[in-house]
Structure 1
Amino acid sequence: MFRRNRDQANVHIRHYLFQSGPSAIENHAIQFLTFHSSRFILAYSTWSLRSKMATDTHPIVNKASVLRPGGSFYYEDRERPSLESDRHVIVRVVATGLCGSDVHYWQHGRIGRYVVENPIILGHESSGIVVACGVEASGIEVGDRVAIEPGVACNTCNPCRSGRYNLCKGMRFAATPPYDGTLCTYYSVPVECCYKLPAHISLRDGALVEPLGVAVHGCRLAGDLQDKSVIVFGAGPVGLLCCAVASAFGASTVVVVDIVAARLESARKYGATHTYQMSAEKSPELNADALAATAGLIDGANVVLDASGAEPCINCGIHALAHGGTFVQVGLGRPNLSLPVGQICDKEAVFKGSFRYGPGDFKLAIGLLNSRRVQVDGLVTHEFSFSQVEEAFKHVAGKGGIKSVIYGPDIDVEAAKQASV
């Protein structure tokens, strides 16, 4: 689209609906004017305001929600990020889904070896609109609606070179100390970490691509699911997406298990053939027997995906697994658990850990959405403005709803809910 010529500047105007600011009464268009130099594309913003600032072309402040060590939030105006390389883009963040890891950092200040020692911006499940591109950022243009893959690997270590960049020890992952996340106005990221959203997916629902990538990765680790029986433990966002992906991958039976009955109500919408409410009063063995009877899995399930991270669920899943079956640990709870190792050995079961997502997982997630083989309608149950960050965290900590999203600063919420077609 662009001519990369140091002597000429090509100007392209794109109109996107955002709120023009806290003092504005109605929505206005931000006109992004982009031009090329020999090294990069600069993006300026002209805000259509009912004020003397109507033609202001100064860079917009990068508003951020920042977590202090100790667990309190504050808002800060930061400089707008620059293009870090010719292959970087800058994304105007529209929606960010809240993850359990975000809440854990807020409540406990650490996850394993990752400790909040300095102020940090949380959030990593995000979608937005590209507002600036480096000249080598091919495949993405200013104005594209994208989902962000929030991890940047080193591409030189052994895991990266062997095609498992999710295991990169030098990974710079958003909202994992010391790296800032996406609860801000703008986020700079390499172009290969941006994925165009299907036209029928809203920017709000685009924030679900990241957890969908987690589900895709877990299901791919399980192997061929065609005509297989699958049990998914945990009816939260990742569990329901695992259910949807397993169904899309051809599983003949998909059972969703949770201890809370209300969380099972949506499971069939995402491909479940059966649901089972675990009883806290029963042993893992008895729950496994009742589960098998409910779903007609006399010989057990070919595959178990645990998205709960809860010890009772993991134990039940191992007991419910068929001989020679595969167990994939998708969700993470306490780091050390007691497991029925005898069952794993007796069944010659394959037990796999799953960590985030790897090569091809985001592309496959986008493909499943594009083909409508996976539907995410209804997963977002609660929405919060940027001024309600702490309220949103408290809501998620209280196990409210399925998925909560926080809109970026000054975003037109109604526009963010709409598809582009």
Structure 2
Amino acid sequence: MAVAYGGICGSDLHYWKEGRIGESVLRSPMVLGHEVVGIVAEPAANGSGPALGSRVAVHPARVCGACGLCRRGAEHLCADLRYLGSAARIPHTDGGFAERLVLPARRLVPVPDALDMKTAALAEPASVALHGLDRVRELNRSVEGSDVLVIGSGPIGLLSVAMACALGAATITATDVFDHPLRLAVRIGATHVVRVDAEAPVPVPVPSADIAIESSGTPQGLATALRSLRSGGVLVNVGHLPPIGVTAPLHLVVPRELTLMGSSRFYHEMPAALEIMGRNIERFAPIVTSVFPLDDAESAFHEAAAAERSSKVLLSFPAAATS
């Protein structure tokens, strides 16, 4: 495929600034990027998959298909998972920030006709956001009609706001330490926003939520998520918490019968995420705040790191001109 656009993720920023994300440490040069869309330039020789010229989003995960997790449908937790642009294994898995990629046809997901390619570049993180809400639906709980709290309005948080709105949430409260993402949150569907202090508990009325999506990856956010939940509420932890120094009011879990769930990446959600985006472009398109050409990638990374003024920053590749 010919790559048209690639979104810069927080993990890309960690590799760029620190040479690592968690236990995944760069030990050799690696191409970044796992949020990419483009055009099929040469279809599969056996005729499977999208046809020549098709607009597609890339599913970044390669799984073994044989381990117990894969066999039970949890491929995103595969014991031998390889992810585009990841240093989790040696040799590292090169990412999608390249003009051309060669991929199995099964990892190319058609982009709906109604969806422009810049917005379609949100397919991967939008699938992450949808997976978080799908974790709630696994409990036979509905997002529709629920009061939802989203803590942290970075790209994943904003996409969670947009997805919750598209799925019929009654109210959506979004929090952040900056004004810019909160203005975006209102534009895409949040009914309430709260500006917070990075070092203090989040001042959200408690208990006020049926579902809390913790996407800040901070102990303060986790504590507020727990305090915000009504009895029987569900907390989905999407943000990556630090490995030490995390305290939280877990004493609330038993008397309120709270459910705590982790949410890691996604697997099956990308077609549904693209379909939802195609029906709700006005809620998703504003999350892309700037586009830089590939030859100005360094400026793009600096802009993506400026959370006070940017959300999702894209790199554009030559194929963007024809997509």
Q: Normalising by structure 2, report the TM-score.
A: 0.91
Residue by residue over 1:121-160, the C-alpha shift from the partner in whole angstroms, topping out at 9 and shown as x without a partner, is 0001000000112233524101001111111111111111
Q: Is the 8 A contact 1:304 1:321 kept in 2?
A: yes
Q: What is the alpha-carbon distance in structure 1 between the residues aligned to residue 199 and residue 44 of structure 2?
A: 58
Amino acid corresponding to residue 220 of structure 1 in structure 2 = D
Gaps of 5+ in 1: 1-90, 293-297, 417-421
Q: Which residue of 2 aligns with 1:403?
A: 312
RMSD between superposed Cα atoms in Å: 1.8
Task: For 1:352 and 1:272, locate their aligned partners in 2 and report how far apart those are by CA, in whole Å.
Answer: 23
Match of 2:235 in 1: 327
Q: How far apart are residue 185 of structure 1 and its match?
A: 1.0
Equivalent in the alignment of 1:230: 148
Relative contact order, CA 8 A, sep 6+: which one is greater?
2
**Partner-residue secondary structure (3-state), 2:164:** helix
- Within 5 Å, give how 1:153-192 maps onto structure 2: 153-177=63-87, 178-192=92-106
Match of 2:191 in 1: 273
Contact map agreement 2:7 2:121 (CA 8 A) in 1: yes
Post-superposition shift, 1:245?
A: 1.0
* CA distance in structure 1 between the partners assigned to 2:236 and 2:305 by the alignment: 25
Q: Are positions 1:199 and 2:113 aligned together?
A: yes
Matches within 5 A, 1:269-308: 269-280=187-198, 282-284=200-202, 287=203, 291-292=204-205, 299-308=207-216
Aligned residues of 2:292 and 2:315 also touching (Cα < 8 A): yes
Alpha-carbon deviation of 1:388? Answer: 1.4
Q: 2:39 matched to 1:129?
A: yes
Larger of the two Rg values belongs to structure: 1
Deviation string 1:163-201 (CA, Å, 9 cap, x unpaired) is 000001211100002100011111122212111112232
Judge which range, 340-349 or 350-359, deviates more: 340-349
The structure with more strand, counted as a fraction of residues: 1
**Alpha-carbon distance in 1 for matches of 2:48, 2:115:** 23
> Among 53, 59, 62, which residue is 1:149 paired with?
59
The 2-side partners of 1:215 and 1:118 are apart by 31
Q: TM-score, normalised by structure 1?
A: 0.71
- Which residue in the other structure is 1:253 paired with? 171
Alpha-carbon distance between aligned partners in 1 of 2:233 and 2:258, rounded to the nearest angstrom: 5
Q: Distance in 2 between matches of 1:354 and 1:364?
A: 17
Query: Matches of 2:158 and 2:23 in 1, distance apart?
Result: 29
Gaps of 5+ in 2: none
Q: Does 1:375 align with 2:289?
A: no
**Structure 1 position 216 matched with structure 2 position 130:** yes
Task: Confirm or deny: 8 A CA contact 2:148 2:171 kept in the other structure.
Answer: yes
1:371 Cα offset (Å): 2.8
SS in 2 for 1:189: coil
Q: Which residue of 1 aligns with 2:224?
A: 316
Identify the structure with the greater helix proportion.
2
Separation of aligned partners in 1, 2:14 and 2:178 = 21
CA distance in 1, matches of 2:4, 2:222: 36
- Do 2:180 and 2:310's aligned partners in 1 also have CA atoms closer than 8 Å? no
